[in-house]
Amino acid sequence: QLHLTMSEKNELTKSLEMVQKELQEKESEMKREISEYKDRLLQAEKEHQDALTEANRKNEVEIEACQDKMNLLEHLISSQKLEIEHLKSNKEELNNSLKEANLTLGELLKTKVR
């Protein structure tokens, strides 16, 4: 009886050791998989951050180009406003000269008729 019990105990001990070994192997495998997933997650986060950084850089360059273009257009508008004012002034001077010339012509025609 004691021999049979000892034999059963040995089998159960071996069985328990095998189960513990399997659990350790599974634990080790799961730790390895978790480590791989963490590495992949870190890599994906890095790629995502790199993509965001690049997109931000491109946007900043584009914004700067737009601001430069806007500044140029504002300068052109300002120049054209000055040109319009200059042309208005010239038109006014020409109109005044034309009135004076017409008056002078009228007086000359009156003198010639007499």
pLDDT (average), residues 26-40:
98
**Torsion, CA 14, CA 20, CA 23, CA 27, rounded to 10:** -140
Q: Please determine, for residue 55, whether its predicted confidence score (pLDDT) is greater than 80.
A: yes
Mean pLDDT of the chain: 96
User: What pLDDT is stored for residue 112 in this prediction?
Assistant: 85
Task: With respect to residue 107, please indicate whether it lies within any of the assigned structural domains.
Answer: no
Task: With respect to residue 87, please indicate whether it lies within any of the assigned structural domains.
Answer: no
The values of phi and psi at residue 41, to 5°, are: -65, -45
Task: With respect to residue 6, please indicate whether it lies within any of the assigned structural domains.
Answer: yes
pLDDT (average), residues 42-65:
98
Task: With respect to residue 109, please indicate whether it lies within any of the assigned structural domains.
Answer: no
Proportion of the chain above pLDDT 70, given as a percent: 100
Q: Whole-model pTM above 0.85?
A: no
Q: Please determine, for residue 35, whether its predicted confidence score (pLDDT) is greater than 80.
A: yes
Task: With respect to residue 67, please indicate whether it lies within any of the assigned structural domains.
Answer: yes
Instruction: Let me know if 78 is exposed, middle or buried by CB neighbors in 10 A (0-12, 13-18, 19+).
Output: exposed
pLDDT (average), residues 69-88:
98
Query: What is the residue range of 54's domain?
Result: 1-82
Task: With respect to residue 71, please indicate whether it lies within any of the assigned structural domains.
Answer: yes
Q: Please determine, for residue 4, whether its predicted confidence score (pLDDT) is greater than 90.
A: no
Q: Which helix (H) or strand (E) holds 1?
A: none
